[in-house]
Homo-oligomer: A and B are copies of this chain.
Amino acid sequence: MKIICIGSGNVATHMAGAFKKKGHDLIQVWSRDADHAEALASSLGAKVVADLGEIDLNADLYLIAIKDDAISSVAHALGEVSGLVVHTSGATSIAELDRFKSHGVLYPLQTFSKAKEVDFKDIPLCIEAVDADSLNKLRTIAAELSKLVYEVDSDKRKILHLSAVFACNFVNHLYELGAQVLRSHDLDFEMLRPLIMETAVKVQTEMPASVQTGPAVRDDEQTILKHLELLESSPHLKEIYQTLSESIKNSN
């Protein structure tokens, strides 16, 4: 397949790289950020295009992996392409691409960092397409990259994206709050890392509710009060501690 990559962020970089590895031909890269575009294009053996008007109209796949609020304007600046046009956004409706005959969504439910390699075959890919033809194409494309392909419509994809905010973005922030607590007492975040891993490993086979531990789930008010005392000088952490402890108690 001839593929054009629009965007040069984490998702664009990892997904275009995964296609390249599968032997596909990445022919052009466009990005708002010229330096990033240059770096990605050179790693893919593709050409940089500075203007969306220069994009080849005869590629097989147009991969739009850019910020959600830019998808609409970029879609409107693209010419009359004949290939399949997809965006990779969890929170954006498929309808944003409806000026293209063949279009869809290829949403990877994963968190990417530029520096870190990921194995695409273990990443859930959520696909949606405007018609049966596009869906067949997209199904084949997705199955090449990952063994976890789900058909998910735009409404459910938004829910998935929202659940990921809880289970990934907020979780990472709680790691950070844990690190803050340690830092304020000259303790090293390193000490928490094995616990963080095990907490994630546990729910790979169990449901989280069944492996909940800690003072809130066992109604250990004495420990909760001691913790709130320790947080007396950090009203912000105290508020989060109280909110989440209440939530755990109410889930019982």
Residues of A within 8 A of B (CB): 67-69, 91, 109-111, 113, 116, 118, 122-124, 126, 148, 150, 152, 155-156, 158-160, 162-179, 181-182, 184-185, 187, 189, 191-204, 206-209, 211-218, 220, 222-223, 226-227, 230-231, 236-237, 239-241, 243-244, 247-248, 250-251
How far, in whole Å, are A208 and B111 apart by their CA atoms in the complex?
A: 13
Distance between Cα atoms of A185 and B155 in the complex (Å): 9
In the bound assembly, the distance between CA atoms of A191 and B168 in angstroms comes to: 13
Pick from B118, B185, B237, B251: contact of A173, CB under 8 Å: B251
Decide if A163 touches B176 in the complex (CB within 8 Å): no
Picked from B169, B179, B187, B195, the residue with its CB within 8 Å of the CB of A110 is B195
Q: Which residues of B contact A126 (CB under 8 A)?
A: 191
- Whether the Cβ atoms of A169 and B123 lie closer than 8 Å is no
> Chain B: which residue is nearest A123 at the CB level?
B194
User: Do A191 and B150 have beta carbons less than 8 Å apart?
Assistant: yes
- Measured between beta carbons, the chain B residues less than 8 angstroms from A237 are 166
Q: Are B200 and A204 in contact (CB under 8 A)?
A: no
Is A195's CB under 8 angstroms from B212's CB?
no
Please name the residue on chain B nearest to A214 by beta carbon: B169
Complex CA–CA separation, A31 to B223 (angstroms): 22
Q: Would you call B166 and A212 a contact (CB within 8 A)?
A: no
Q: Among B164, B174, B240, B250, which residue has its beta carbon within 8 angstroms of that of A192?
A: B164
Q: Which residues of B contact A168 (CB under 8 A)?
A: 195-196, 199, 213-214
Contact A203 B172 (CB under 8 A): yes
Q: Inside 8 A of A212's CB, which chain B residues have their CB? A: 169, 172-173, 176
Q: Are A200 and B202 touching (Cβ within 8 A)?
A: no
Contact A226:B91 (CB < 8 A) given known A220-B68, A247-B236: yes
